[in-house]
Amino acid sequence: MRRVALVIYDGFQPLDLVGPHEVFAHAAVLTDGGYECRIVAPTSGLVRANSGLPVHAEHAVADLEPDGIDTLVVTGGFGVDQARADLALVGWIAAAAAGARRVTSVCSGAFLLAAAGVLSGRRVTTHWRREEQLRREHPEVTVDCDPIFIRDGRVWTSAGVTAGMDLALALVEDDHGRDVAHAVAQELVLFLRRPGSQSQFSVPLWAVRPASDPIRTAVAAVNADPGGPHGISDLAARAGLSPRHLQRRFTAELGMPPAAYVERVRIEAARRVLAEADDPVEAIARRLGFGTGESLRRAFHRHIGVAPSDYRERFRSMREYA
């Protein structure tokens, strides 16, 4: 039997707990009691999730010895910033992590692992909305918020909310093989491996505001008409700079060359059209400057991780189903 300790606190995200808990519970049935889940909090008793949902924590960190834990799961949620100031909680997580075979976090639970010193020198992920905060506050950690989950040695971290179930399925597969994990996924109506990456869910937070008027002019032109003529000579003419000078200043101010910026803006425009309209992919490609549907498909897969048609099926307007 593998003991799984799931850490919660006031303001945790309930799906970060319930999703993995259910995956392990179903796997326990299929493996004749292969997992035992324990819910741990700063104090035992009722703990309120960030949605107000009350959850009973069986164990307080002061009363549960950190020894004997096979897999540590730390949840995220709006309350994580206050929780990581709780020295007793952070100390218990550090002690439990030191002895556990596997240490994991869901969503912003990565902040608690970072506070406990568990993530130093490791490549990790978290919810896409908190990527920059984690990178800024913990420069000792390599943050990559594209994958749904990341394994770095015995430390596993996952993206936001429902990604905790993807992570838990991967842990079950690591322990008991694909057949058991697949059976759990079937029972819970989940992908065994979800297609795509976090990019398909995130909003465009990548754009940096230009520092100078010429680059702002070029950027405004691209945003106003993503499908327009935005080659280096076109943008240089609008900015009143030579192509070489524009290339250098644009890259310095925005962290990417003009061509890469234009492609990303066009991808964001394509996402909106795919979710809101039924235009054929070929027509969208021509209108947004990709030229051909195949060019759009390649760029879309490179940035989003799925085909445009698959993205449309997942994110089309709910009016389609009314």
SS (H, E, C) 247-288: HHHHHHHHCCCHHHHHHHHHHHHHHHHHHHCCCCHHHHHHHC
pLDDT of residue 196: 59
| Mean pLDDT confidence for 41-59 | 95
Q: Confidence class of residue 199 from pLDDT cuts 50, 70 and 90? A: low
Side-chain half-sphere of 237: how many Cα atoms within 13 Å?
5
Q: Is the pLDDT of residue 111 over 80?
A: yes
pTM: 0.68
Phi, psi of 65 (to 5 degrees): -65, 135
- Strand 59-60 and strand 35-41: the pairing is parallel
- Which residues are CB-contacts of 198 (< 8 A; sequence separation ≥ 6)? 125, 128, 145, 146, 147, 148, 159, 160, 163
Chain region(s) in the chain for CATH 1.10.10.60: 213-321
Residue whose structure tokens are 């039997």? 1
Phi, psi of 231 (to 5 degrees): -70, 170
pLDDT of residue 224: 84
Q: What is the pLDDT of residues 58-103, one digit of tens each?
A: 999 999 888 889 999 999 999 999 999 999 999 999 999 999 999 9
Could you report how far apart the first and last alpha carbons of the chain are, in Å? 46
Q: Which residues of 62-79 are buried (b: 16+ CB within 10 A; e: fewer)?
A: eebebeebbbbbbbbbeb
Least confident of 46-55, 161-170, 198-207: 198-207
- Which residues are CB-contacts of 127 (< 8 A; sequence separation ≥ 6)? 76, 107, 108, 145, 159, 160, 161
- Contact between 90 and 98 (Cβ < 8 Å): no
pLDDT of residue 28: 95
Q: Is the pLDDT of residue 109 over 90?
A: yes
- Contact between 7 and 112 (Cβ < 8 Å): yes
Chain region(s) in the chain for CATH 3.40.50.880: 2-199
* CATH 1.10.10.60 at 213-321, yes or no: yes
pLDDT of residue 322: 39
Q: Is the pLDDT of residue 202 over 80?
A: no
pLDDT of residue 119: 97
Q: What is the pLDDT of residues 240-283, one digit of tens each?
A: 999 999 999 999 988 889 999 999 889 988 988 887 788 899 99
Sign of CA dihedral 302, 305, 309, 313: negative
* CATH 3.40.50.880 at 2-199, yes or no: yes
pLDDT of residue 54: 96
pLDDT of residue 195: 62
The amino acid at residue 61 is V
Q: Is the pLDDT of residue 139 over 50?
A: yes
* Stretch (H or E) spanning 157: strand 155-158
pLDDT of residue 319: 42
Q: What is the pLDDT of residues 119-133, one digit of tens each?
A: 999 999 999 889 899
When the pLDDT of each residue in the chain is averaged and rounded to a whole number, the result is 89
The residue that leads in pLDDT, 77 or 224, is: 77
pLDDT of residue 197: 59
